[in-house]
Amino acid sequence: MTSVSKPRVSIFGIGYVGAVTAACICKDGFSVHAVDVNQAKADSLGKGISPIVEPGLPELLKGAVDDGLLTAGTSAVYAIDNTDLSIVCVGTPSLRNGNLDLSYVAAVAEDIGKAIGQKAGYHSVVMRSTMLPGSMDKTVIPILERASGKKAGVDFGIAYYPEFLREATAIADYENPAVIVLGIKDDETLSRLRVINSKLTSPEFLVDIKTAEAIKYANNTWHAVKISFANEIGNIAKAAGIDGHKVMEAVCADKRLNISTVYMKPGMAYGGSCLPKDLRALRYSARSMEVATPLLDAVADSNDNQIDRAFNMIAATGKKNVAMLGLSFKAGTDDLRESPLVEIAERLHGKGFKVKIYDENVRYSALTGANLSYVRAHLPHLADLLVASIEEAKEDADVLVVGNNDFRFGEAVGDKRDDQLVIDFVRVSKEVRSNNQDYAGLCW
């Protein structure tokens, strides 16, 4: 198989993403043949007429046609025969039940697969349509393989390359993406995509196909959450006679905690002396002003669900001897107030588990004030459960629960006995994932 230095590109679906992608690829000097089932749309694009309203797009399309770089038609066979790589940009609308409608994706995969089956050369199929994680493995690839009689990643290339284009700024977003995410199955398709993207300088994330699908959904869902959060804060602020825009302007100016990677890693529920009580107080204040806060309400429910999930993972082992490594809500503090680990320890004790707890920073005799009051109310047995060393906690344990990110807990897990199970709430190592044997991560 010989790598193509400048791959010829076909694009299936001349909608929003397809038209912008075609124009931008042509601008970078590549030839593109666009395909759409709508003959009128294909004819218009072939004349350089934009199918959508997008600043700068009509000029790019007209220039691409005038330069002989952009053509359009309706034949999948022609497109596959005359190009090296196909980018699929067809729509994935919602069904009535909320699921995605993959009928357009399935139809184009069928057409491309049949055409690949008749082609002697190695062709790459790159999906950009937004699809739920697993859609490529469960729907797209099986259709392509059945229709072509060939094996994905062996006889033809396959990749998932999500787009992050915003309407009205799509060309700028294409030319300067925040990240490039490539879900790859074969080296030849990766090589071709890198040639097409050679003018882009954004960081590249090379992942498996399912992860690439998940990244796209995480992005879109996060944007929706941010908008709803800002709206709820604005609604509360207005009811209190405050300018919500000024509130959020200051919030967004904090790049250390607010607009940053901090708190953005999956793991244990939040706790401590601030977040739980302040969220409760804000929700109460909103209710008193008759302002609905469904997102903020759901935050509390989601946090409770994470605590339930953590406890259930321990209970599901069927083992009764548990060593909890960490009790404070994070390493480096003795603050036990509303630590989710305190609640888990109390549940375990109440359910008859034999629990030993080690936390370097937690000494019962040193607890004072609100911290002591909270423990007496929520874990009155703490003095009997605390041990003086990691080794003592591990000694008779069947299950090791890593509750916070004290660096020594990673070492303790590495030195465990073969018969001990590890349930990790903080991911002591980026290299480990749940293995259905002796290690289970909370959400990885």
279 within domain boundaries: no
pLDDT at site 430: 87
**Domain CATH code at residue 419:** 3.40.50.720
> How far apart are alpha carbons 66 and 52 in whole angstroms?
19
Residues 40 and 182 in one domain: yes
> Does a structural domain hold residue 101?
yes
Do 319 and 417 contact (CB within 8 A), yes or no?
Answer: no
Query: 256 among the known binding-site residues?
Result: no
Confidence class for position 5, pLDDT limits 50, 70, 90 = confident
Query: Cβ–Cβ contacts within 10 Å for residue 231, how many?
Result: 13
How deeply is 314 buried, as exposed, middle or buried, from its count of CB atoms within 10 A (0-12, 13-18, 19+)?
A: buried
Which pLDDT tens digit goes with each residue over 306-363?
999 999 999 999 999 999 999 999 999 999 999 999 999 999 999 999 999 999 999 9
Say if residue 191 is in the same domain as residue 231.
Answer: no
Is 282 within the bounds of a domain?
no
Q: Which of residues 207, 230, 248 is at a domain's end? A: 207
Q: Is residue 288 part of a domain?
A: no
Give Cβ neighbours of residue 58 (< 8 Å, ≥ 6 apart): 48, 49, 50
CA–CA distance, 379 with 381 (Å, rounded to integer): 5
133 plus 241 within the same structural domain: no
Indicate whether 162 and 75 sit together in one domain: yes
* Residues 108-162 pLDDT 10s: 999 999 999 999 999 999 999 999 999 999 999 999 999 999 999 999 999 999 9
Beta bridge partners of 85: 9, 124
- Claim to verify: residue 148 and residue 63 sit in the same structural domain: yes
Place of tokens 């107030």: 337
- Check: CB of residue 113 under 8 Å from CB of residue 81: no
Q: Are residues 215 and 85 in the same domain?
A: no
Q: Please indicate whether residue 443 is annotated as part of the active site.
A: no
Residue 280 annotated as binding site: no
- The pLDDT of residue 2 is 47
- Do both 333 and 253 map to the same domain? no
Q: Is the same domain home to 432 and 374?
A: yes
pLDDT at 228: 98
CA-angle at 249, arms to 294 and 272, nearest 5°: 55
More confident residue, 106 or 1: 106
| Contact criterion met (CB below 8 Å) for 360 and 407 | no
**Shared-domain flag, residues 123 and 18:** yes
User: Residue 270's pLDDT is what?
Assistant: 96
190 annotated to bind ligand: no
The one catalytic residue in 24, 26, 89, 274 is: 274
| % residues pLDDT > 70 (the chain) | 99
Q: In terms of domains, do 177 and 226 share one? A: no
Instruction: Take residue 191 and report the two structure tokens written for it.
Output: 């090589």
CA pair distance 48, 72, nearest whole angstrom? 10
* Ligand-binding site membership of 216 (annotated): yes
Residue pLDDT, tens place only, 273-294: 899 999 999 999 999 999 999 9
182 is a domain residue: yes
Assess whether 156 and 40 both reside in one domain: yes
The length of the chain in residues reads: 444
Q: Known binder of ligand: residue 376?
A: no
285 within domain boundaries: no
Q: Which structural domain range is residue 336 located in?
A: 302-441
pLDDT at 4: 52
255 is in an annotated binding site: no
Structure tokens, 303: 């946090």
Per-residue pLDDT at 404 exceeds 50: yes
Q: What is the dihedral of CA 264, 270, 274, 276, to 10 degrees?
A: 120
Last residue of a domain, one of 178, 207, 236: 207
What's the pLDDT tens digit per position in 153-190?
A: 999 999 999 999 999 999 999 999 999 999 999 999 99
Domain assignment present for residue 281? The answer is no
Determine whether the annotation assigns residue 203 to a binding site: no
**229 annotated to a ligand binding site:** no
Residue 92: inside a domain: yes
User: What mean pLDDT comes out for the span 199-211?
Assistant: 97
pLDDT in tens, 63-101: 999 999 999 999 999 999 999 999 999 999 999 999 999
Residue 238 has a CB neighbour count (10 Å cut-off) of 13
Number of domains in the chain: 3
224 and 318 in one domain? no
